[in-house]
Structure 1
Amino acid sequence: MNWQKTLKDYQAYLRLERGLSENSIINYIYDIQKLINWLADTSAQCSPVTINQELIQQFIYNAAKDLNATSQSRLISGLKGFFDYLVFEDYRKDNPTDLIESPKVGRKLPDTLSEEEVNSIIEVIDLSSPQGERNRAIIETLYGCGLRVSELLNLKLSDLFFEEGYILVTGKGDKQRFVPIAPITQHYIKIYRDEIRIHENPKPLFKNILFLNRRGAQLTRAMIFTIVKQNTKKAGIQKTISPHTFRHSFATHLLQNGADLRAIQLMLGHESITTTEIYMHLDRTHLTEVMNTYHPRK
């Protein structure tokens, strides 16, 4: 069993079995390729089946010199996933990375906007052009539904179920979920859809895509970042803001106003509740309120 053939099979597994995006697959494969290159440089004679823990530890030690703790942790995680695959496929009996510990990585709390800051960004949008109505609808949807940028870009006209109060969102790994959409967010999407988009000429491939550029094609990630950056600066907000900040703010404001963490998890499309729990750290006053409200010894 040679490395390149195994790597190709693993790539197909990630795409077909795990349903990962191309960006995620590239990152996984890049980590394994670094190991293969290091083995070639050191003339180590081993295959994916025969490589042992000692060799992998040497590789990680060598690679760690140029990596911070977060990158080291990701590298080790990537290797673990690769050898888990080999065990799953019965190519190996053991995973040589099982006893290798990742460095402790502090969880970085995401930046958030206050409700006033969100409003000020929306208020400075120039509505004198058709793109202004689109941009307002975009930011209202990012904040009102807590979407990832990729989910916003791929939102379709056929995904809007306004009468039922939901939109259908396609998330990571093409997993779909229904997300509630507030009347105010519906209102601004309807203005864009019914008064602006209806007069545009979408290219055949993008006839069902909700948000379009001036040429009738799908918007890019870079364009969403530009829209957010320009209006944040215009509003005089000094924080480092990205489209994802609106998603963080969506979750934080829901939690602050008493929403259940499990409900927030479902709306965000997090597979694990531990991912959603990061928002518990953003406002500890919420924990105090919960204790004072619900504990019998209050």
Structure 2
Amino acid sequence: MMWDKKLEDYKHYLKIERGLSENSIKNYALDIQKLINFLNNLESIESPLKIKKGLLQQFVYELPRTVNPRSQARIISGLKGFFNYLIFEDYRSDNPMDLIESPKIGRKLPDTLSTDEINQLIAAIDLSKSEGERNRAMLETLYGCGLRVSELLNLKLSDLYFDEDFIKVTGKGNKQRFVPISKVNKKYITIYRKEVRVHQKIEVGHEDFLFLNRRGKQLTRAMIFTIVKNLATVIHLKKNISPHTFRHSFATHLLENGADLRAIQQMLGHESITTTEVYMHVNRKHLAKVLNEFHPRNEV
């Protein structure tokens, strides 16, 4: 089937030309697969090279029955990218998704933790267990350096430049950046390395990964999510948090304490300052406090 072949070609393009992560490529492919499944159910013979706007509109019209507006917008955006790829490769001369609009969605503000909540979560780690020191070092790194989960998992021993107070982080699209690391963060990573990791039997091919599971292999995303969720349960935290919440909290707390937005952008590895600006809206109480403290007409 031509759809399957073009989807495979597109995945290679995303990996080689765009440098996207395996996780991002998988998500793009799943969204396009939804369209393929829709066409199969209709027993449509339209190929990706010939499909017209009308059939795609029908697919988009059906989306609200199965996915929320945010997911609809993502799927539509992904399909536009797929057909732009076909144009780029001279398979098509037009993009049938061009005039199909995405649903209007508001910008979702990220959940954050207070410094007290972060302290409680880290204090809840059971250091009597062998994985305790590792988990503490991981959470300190998520919060202390503002890393994505994938960046934490792929952090290597060779990425640690402790003498210069930096770590090298490989972000989206394999783009690398240097992020400053604090003395506290270095302290807990060093404890984990010297007191736990050094005694592990490490699987071949995983020797350079900093954080390892009990079998001496690289950790998975699911394991990090489970660790965070379990700690939230221990301290009876009512918020719905994930490892990414530590990254949001990192940016929010820096901004609240007067950090420059451009500096936060660089540390987070955001390509556009617009992405970082979402943190300007997280804590309006802080903004009101800044206005009252610094504006020359703050008194009646």
TM-score (norm 1): 0.91
The one-letter code matched in structure 1 to 2:97 is T
Give the SS at the match of 1:204.
Answer: coil
Say whether 1:194 aligns with 2:157.
no
Match of 1:157 in 2: 157
Encode CA deviations 1:183-205: one digit per residue, 9 max, x unaligned: 11011111111222222221222
Point out where structure 1 has 5 or more consecutive residues left out of the alignment: none
Say whether 1:235 aligns with 2:235.
yes
Encode CA deviations 1:258-285: one digit per residue, 9 max, x unaligned: 1111211111112222221221111123
The one-letter code matched in structure 2 to 1:149 is V
Give the SS at the match of 1:94.
Answer: coil
Taking the aligned partners of 1:229 and 1:5, their CA distance within structure 2 comes to 39
> Cα 1:7–1:295, aligned 2, differ >3 Å: closer, same or farther?
same
Contact 1:255 1:286 in 2 (8 A): no
Say whether 1:139 aligns with 2:131.
no
> Cα 1:217–1:47, aligned 2, differ >3 Å: closer, same or farther?
closer
Say whether 1:34 aligns with 2:34.
yes
Point out where structure 2 has 5 or more consecutive residues left out of the alignment: none
Residue 248 of structure 1 deviates from its aligned partner by 0.9
Match of 1:110 in 2: 110
Match of 1:219 in 2: 219
- Per mean C-alpha deviation after superposition, the further-off stretch among 46-55 and 243-252 is 46-55
> Cα 1:98–1:290, aligned 2, differ >3 Å: closer, same or farther?
farther
How many residues in Structure 1 have an aligned counterpart in Structure 2?
298
- Per mean C-alpha deviation after superposition, the further-off stretch among 120-129 and 79-88 is 120-129
- Per mean C-alpha deviation after superposition, the further-off stretch among 93-102 and 127-136 is 127-136
- Per mean C-alpha deviation after superposition, the further-off stretch among 195-204 and 108-117 is 195-204
Give the SS at the match of 1:177.
Answer: strand
Match of 1:65 in 2: 65
Match of 1:9 in 2: 9
Match of 1:282 in 2: 282
- Per mean C-alpha deviation after superposition, the further-off stretch among 99-108 and 1-10 is 1-10
Give the SS at the match of 1:169.
Answer: strand
Match of 1:263 in 2: 263
> Cα 1:127–1:30, aligned 2, differ >3 Å: closer, same or farther?
closer
| Structure 1 residues 162-201: aligned runs within 5 Å | 162-201=162-201
Percent of matched pairs sharing the same residue? 66
Taking the aligned partners of 1:142 and 1:160, their CA distance within structure 2 comes to 15
Taking the aligned partners of 1:33 and 1:191, their CA distance within structure 2 comes to 46
Match of 1:246 in 2: 246
